[in-house]
């Protein structure tokens, strides 16, 4: 099997949740970065972890970990602003990984644990055998989804209010993980290819922390043992 490298971008500061990456989370004093690095280090199918950050506190914590899998990159501040595009980070990830496959993930998905990462890698490798060229995680939505003018998930000319379980599902990317080869990054300049496999995650497992209320909900999920970190 080709090398699997996890790419974990973590810039300093957060506009929505102050110090989101290192704010104490449950019993984890170093917060989400502690949760995520421990999960990635424990994942059997991840060979290397590249942590890219400009946060001195994250750097200090990461340097205290004794794992040969973990490689720390001090990211230039020019790639750590709120205006930095994901396209720029794709090129950045490409420059840091020499070979194999890149698993791009975030600390804001605390319930994607080591077992989930291992299953994602297996799912990705199986998808490559069936014509897909990459993988992305998503939440499956069965519901009445509208744009400004009309429904987009069902046809009201056929049935005004169908049973939600009969509606063809739509998929919301939750940014928990993207997996693609180094070649995709070089050729497509993207973290997915032309034929990505959509790996659906359980609603709780795929929970993403974006706002202050998300952080509170995630802590409640943890305290009530509704998901395993």
Cα 147 to Cα 149: distance, rounded to the nearest angstrom: 6
Residues of the chain with pLDDT under 70: 1
pTM, 2 dp: 0.95
Cα 104 to Cα 184: distance, rounded to the nearest angstrom: 13
Give me the pLDDT at residue 78, please. 84
**DSSP secondary structure code for residue 2 in this structure:** -
Give me the pLDDT at residue 84, please. 87
57-96 CB burial, b ≥16 within 10 A, e <16:
ebbebbeeeeeebbeebebeeebbeeebeeeebbebbbee
Give me the pLDDT at residue 14, please. 77
Cα 5 to Cα 113: distance, rounded to the nearest angstrom: 16
- Which residue, among 23, 224, 204, 14, has the nearest Cα to 109 in the 3D structure? 204
* Element housing 115 (H / E): helix 114-128
Read off the pLDDT of residues 109-129 as tens digits, 9 standing for 90 and up. 999 999 999 999 999 999 999
Read off the pLDDT of residues 47-74 as tens digits, 9 standing for 90 and up. 999 999 999 999 999 999 989 999 999 9
Give the strand pairing for 170-181 and 101-105. antiparallel
Cα separations in angstroms, 151 against 128, 163, 164, 170, 174: 34, 14, 13, 12, 22
């Amino acid at each position: 099997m080709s090398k699997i490298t996890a790419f974990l971008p973590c810039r300093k500061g957060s506009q929505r949740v102050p110090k989101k990456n290192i704010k104490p989370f449950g019993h984890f004093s170093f917060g989400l970065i502690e949760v995520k690095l421990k999960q990635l280090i424990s994942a059997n199918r991840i060979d290397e972890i590249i942590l890219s950050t400009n946060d001195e506190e994250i750097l200090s914590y990461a340097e205290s970990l004794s794992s040969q899998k973990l490689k720390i990159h001090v990211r230039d501040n020019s790639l750590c602003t709120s205006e930095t595009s994901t396209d720029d980070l794709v090129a950045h990830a490409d420059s840091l990984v020499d070979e194999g496959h890149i698993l791009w993930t975030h600390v804001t998905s605390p319930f994607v644990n080591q077992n989930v990462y291992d299953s994602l890698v297996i799912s990705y490798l199986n998808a490559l055998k069936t014509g897909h060229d990459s993988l992305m995680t998503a939440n499956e939505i069965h519901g009445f989804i509208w744009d400004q003018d009309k429904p987009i998930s069902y046809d009201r000319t056929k049935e005004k209010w169908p049973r939600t379980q009969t509606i063809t599902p739509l998929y919301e990317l939750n940014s928990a993980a993207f997996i693609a080869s180094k070649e995709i990054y070089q050729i497509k300049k993207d973290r997915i290819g032309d034929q990505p496999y959509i790996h659906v995650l359980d609603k709780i497992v795929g929970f993403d922390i974006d706002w202050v209320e998300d952080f509170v909900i995630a802590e409640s999920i943890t305290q009530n043992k509704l998901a395993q970190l």
